[in-house]
Chain A
Amino acid sequence: MIDGSLPSDAASSGPPGLLEVEHLGVSAGSRKILDDVTLSLPDRTVSAVLGPSGCGKTTFIRCLNRMVELSPALKIVGSVRLLGRDLYDREVDPALVRRRIGMVFQRPTVFPQSIFENAAFGLRLVHADEDEVDRSVMDALKRAGLWDEVHDDLDRSALALSGGQQQRLCIARALAVKPRVLLLDEPTSSLDPHGTQRIEATVRHLKEEIAVVIVTHNVGQAARISDRVAFFHAGRVVEVGATPDILERPREALTEQFITGRFT
């Protein structure tokens, strides 16, 4: 594993990642949600953001594609760079950021349209021509691991799919516009074990092409699919490194308490 060989403090001294987060802070009034987060997220890697509820995981990944700005009450400081370019630069269009850095949410968010149109959503926004739409939708559904189940019935309403299928359709929708990074915010929290397994298999395939950042509070899931783990607590990064290092030999007491389930 490339990333397994990285030193666990790669965040500050390793080679530049695809996404570089520096001194990121988010506050709501006087309450700090994220405090001085510095992290490097490498390409072709699954990075897990692990931590207890309310530790700022979701806010953190919403910062990575500027979704956080949709909550006008939040104040954001620090920087997030994609291949060296500051995403919060005034000249950068947040809509373009979100096309390069796709996102999938806790609960499936399919639109009440056909399966095909759901997957084609991002392409329609830029009026892609029909051939390209057809090709990209097929490609995205295959990469999301949904093609075999739906290919002969693409005109069916997406609402008729199971929860797990809907979530994979959401992944396909994000993939159809060819992002460099895919953000997954606890994508399996509303799914049954089978649905979870399918999503995890999909994620393992995806990292061969793009960077994946997955938020989870499930240690087992982080162990199964991630290459690197960043453990968050109370809005700060407690520890970051290769998954086996963090999960088997944590250096911080907080991390160990969380992993072993002795968290208070």
Chain B
Amino acid sequence: MSAVPASGWADWFSPTELVRFRRRHLVDRWIGRLVPIVFLVAIVPILDLIFWISQRALPTLTWTTLTTNPTGNAGGLYGPIVGTVDLLLLGLAIAVPLGIVSGLSSAIFLPFRWGEVVRGAGDLLVGLPSVILGYFGYFALVIYFGWGASLLAGGVTLGFFMFPYIARASDQAFSSVPPDLKDAALGAGARLRQYARRVAFPIALPQILSGIFLAAAIGIGETAPLLWTALFSSYPPTTLSQPTGYLTGLIWNYYDEPLTFGTEVTLAFQAAFLLIVIVVVMNVIVRLYAERSRKKLEGLYG
């Protein structure tokens, strides 16, 4: 870079150019100042919420809270914790294979137009209010199939709730595999399913796993699909056909109890605190994992 001529920028740029440049510079500066404000707007309510919940949950949260069942107006969270884990695992057992198969077909196996149909259907399901899915689960599973309000009905409904998130993540993961690699695999004599299994799947896996964790984090915070399908129970389920408790259900049931003893409301706050901790931990795991696998694939995308 050579030095600015003695007479200033005017020798190099026309007056209009200089005006425009200065205006852009000002806009840049103001946007730069807005960023921290926007950041505060986003972060303050979250921190406030966490503080508000912790304040009510932590003073009486002990190991016993986690290991005893709720007793109507007091007790712990044991039953709902086990129920939440059971419902989530059962839901994932349905949502993961369905979601991956859906993503594979829309991104790899179906012709583009049919893939779009599958993607559209998935987006529609994501947009479906979860309370409607809960109603559907109630009428189809609880009533029509006669499963009754149970761990099975709740888990399956939760599975259908999480499925479109995993399907969308899988579709995006498989679609983002560089198309050159498909040519390379098929050019080496691979069949489409061999390409999918040996090349696309290992590359897409980190993104799919992130999608599964995200779906689980959303699913674990759901109440509406479970209210009429899993109903509620204070005790950990021992069979698939029993009604099952879950943390969000406990919050739903206990939060607005009259403050006769105060303990029910505290229990609801403790359940909320636990949910927040679980979701935060899941998010951290996803981010660490995604970062690690991104490094492993460095160079693949040129």
Contacts and interface: CB of A to CB of B under 8 A. Distances in A.
Contacts of B183: 67, 70, 103, 105, 109
Interface in A62-116: 65, 67, 70, 72, 95-96, 98-99, 102-103, 105, 107, 109, 111-113
Contacts of B198: 121, 124-125
A121 B186 CA distance: 11
B5 interface: no
B111 A72 contact: yes
Nearest to B194: A125
Contacts of B1: none
A98 B111 contact: no
A113 B201 CA distance: 13
Contacts of B298: 159
A112 B198 CA distance: 11
A17 interface: no
Interface string B154-181: 0000000000000000000000001011
B184 A111 contact: yes
A102 B300 contact: no
A160 interface: yes
B69 to A, nearest CB: 48
B35 interface: no
B131 interface: no
B224 to A, nearest CB: 41
Given A112-B202, A124-B198, A174 B188 contact: yes
A238 B189 CA distance: 32
A122 interface: yes
Contacts of A70: 182-183, 186
B203 interface: yes
B191 to A, nearest CB: 5
A105 B184 contact: yes
B189 A177 contact: yes
Contacts of A107: 180, 302
Contacts, number: 71
B191 A95 contact: yes
Interface string A5-45: 00000000000000000000000000000000000000000
A217 interface: no
A233 interface: no
Contact of A177 (B178, B188, B202): B188
Interface string A121-136: 1101100000000000
Given A72-B111, A105-B180, A160-B299, A112 B187 contact: no
Dominant SS among interface residues on chain A: helix
B189 A112 contact: no
Contacts of A122: 188-190
Contacts of A174: 187-188
Contacts of B296: 112
B181 to A, nearest CB: 6
Contacts of A170: 184
Contacts of B290: none
A181 to B, nearest CB: 12
Nearest to A121: B188
B199 A102 contact: no
A201 to B, nearest CB: 23
Contacts of B180: 105, 107, 109
B3 interface: no
A72 B198 CA distance: 23
Contacts of B178: 109
A111 B199 contact: yes
B282 interface: no
B241 to A, nearest CB: 44
Interface of B: 111, 178, 180-191, 194, 198-199, 202-203, 296-300, 302
29 contacts: A65-B187, A67-B187, A70-B182, A70-B183, A95-B189, A96-B189, A98-B188, A98-B189, A103-B183, A103-B188, A105-B184, A107-B302, A111-B185, A113-B202, A121-B190, A121-B198, A122-B189, A122-B190, A124-B198, A125-B189, A125-B194, A125-B198, A159-B297, A159-B298, A159-B299, A159-B300, A160-B299, A173-B188, A174-B188
Given A109-B183, A111-B185, 18 more contacts: A67-B187, A70-B182, A70-B183, A72-B111, A98-B188, A98-B189, A99-B189, A102-B188, A105-B180, A107-B302, A109-B180, A121-B185, A121-B190, A125-B198, A159-B299, A173-B188, A174-B187, A174-B188
